[in-house]
Amino acid sequence: MKKLLLLCASCWLMLLQACGQTTDKAYALMLKGLYSNSIPTIKPNELQAILSSDEKRTLLLDTRQPEEYGVSHIAGAQFVGYDSFEVEQLKGVAKDTPVILYCSVGYRSEKIGDKLQEAGFTNVRHLYGGIFEWVNQGLPVYNQKEKTNKIHAFSKSWGVWLQKGEKVYGTE
């Protein structure tokens, strides 16, 4: 069933790409095919509320590649990577610390969340729709110096899901 959903989402992606547009329903369908639902999600507005509060206990982790993080990231996010991630990077972090992970759309962050749960972390979530949904909701991203409109779109085929911001491919 999951493979069928992923196939349908992929076909829908190709059709949307040909038309040059996307829809919220298509994005939700694509995410449904990608997610295994092993890690609970958090919506962008919920994460924004946490980040705006005085609660500094939440650990926000960016699980994308260094070039993606370098273009822009959510304020306060710590880069941990995907390919190079090791649980030992969080040595010294209490296992009950609230951890929120994100990547472009949520696939990679969910996989890192699985690793954290296997290592005994008990309060792990990932951002629904990833940084793409964050930006599509009009929420801010930052480079190393300031707020920016640029967002790394990973690839042209994935960039179709990014409705707002200036798409960047490669490094800048």
pLDDT tens digits in sequence order for the chain, 172 residues long: 555 544 444 544 444 443 334 458 888 898 999 899 999 999 999 999 999 886 668 999 999 999 999 999 999 999 999 999 999 999 999 999 999 999 999 999 999 999 999 999 999 999 999 999 999 999 999 999 999 999 999 889 899 999 999 999 976 5
Domain identity same for 30 and 51: no
Nearest CA among 132, 64, 68 for reference residue 101: 64
Domain identity same for 84 and 54: yes
Domain identity same for 28 and 46: no
Domain identity same for 72 and 148: yes
Instruction: Kindly report the number of other CB atoms within 10 A of residue 65's CB atom.
Output: 19
Look at residue 26 and give its three-state secondary structure: helix
The angle formed by the CA atoms of residues 19, 21 and 26, to the nearest 5 degrees, is 110
Domain identity same for 28 and 66: no
Determine the Cα–Cα distance for residues 117 and 132; give it in Å rounded to an integer.
Answer: 24
CATH number at residue 134: 3.40.250.10
Tell me the C-alpha to C-alpha distance, in Å, between residue 9 and each of 2, 29, 59, 146, 161. Answer: 10, 6, 32, 35, 12
Domain identity same for 20 and 90: no
Entry pTM: 0.83
